Amino acid sequence: MRFVPGKPFEPEEYVLKSGTPLYRVFSNGRKGGVTEFNPGFGSATRFAFFGDPAIPVLYLAQTEEAAVCESLLHDVPPGPGRVMYDSIADKICAPLAPTRDLRLVSLMGDGPRKLQTEAKHVTGTMASQYGRTVRWAEAAHKAGFDGLVWMSNRRNTDQAYVFFGDRVNPGDLVALSGHGRIFAAGPDFDWLADYLAQLHLDILTP
């Protein structure tokens, strides 16, 4: 059983096809919008940051619900409970897609077993293990991949992704036309409130 990548690093490859719709929750103040990578600011995450200077990353999900679970609900325990309005007031959920096929390391299906590990040791750990789990992203990057894919630990019917900003260029992603959800008020707030209610979570408004 491996808890960190071994050598040689020979992962299972997953090809994310050009045009596949993905979703991202992000702050309204991001100048680059839905396709803007995090250049290395903020706290450590499961697969970031590594490198000097830090490799930019972008986290995404297969569905709107998974994007919410992987962002707004990332640190919220299972309900019953409350989500503070301030934590969602400046957030947007919007769709985007790759404009080329992307090569990703698979951490789902047979992927973990091929790497002699288990998903629970890589994609299902507590935040205290991020200093170790980031080494899997670093190994994927060194092996020339564009990012990683795994089954969301918070909504395990859907895939989650991380892309590396020095491999996936601005022209490799495009914002999709259609409805981006602005959670501050209106029907998009109602959509979020209804979804959270299914999970026994209420939005605590001012």
d(CA 74, CA 48): 15
Q: What's the pLDDT at 170?
A: 81
Look up the CATH number of domain 13-78+92-180: 3.90.175
Cα dist from 170 to 11, 39, 40, 149, 182, whole Å: 26, 13, 17, 20, 23
Closest by CA to 73, choosing from 199, 205, 204, is 199
Q: What's the pLDDT at 74?
A: 94
pLDDT less than 50: residues of the chain: none
Q: What's the pLDDT at 197?
A: 97
Domain boundaries, the chain: 13-78+92-180
Q: What is the pTM of this model?
A: 0.96
Q: What's the pLDDT at 137?
A: 98
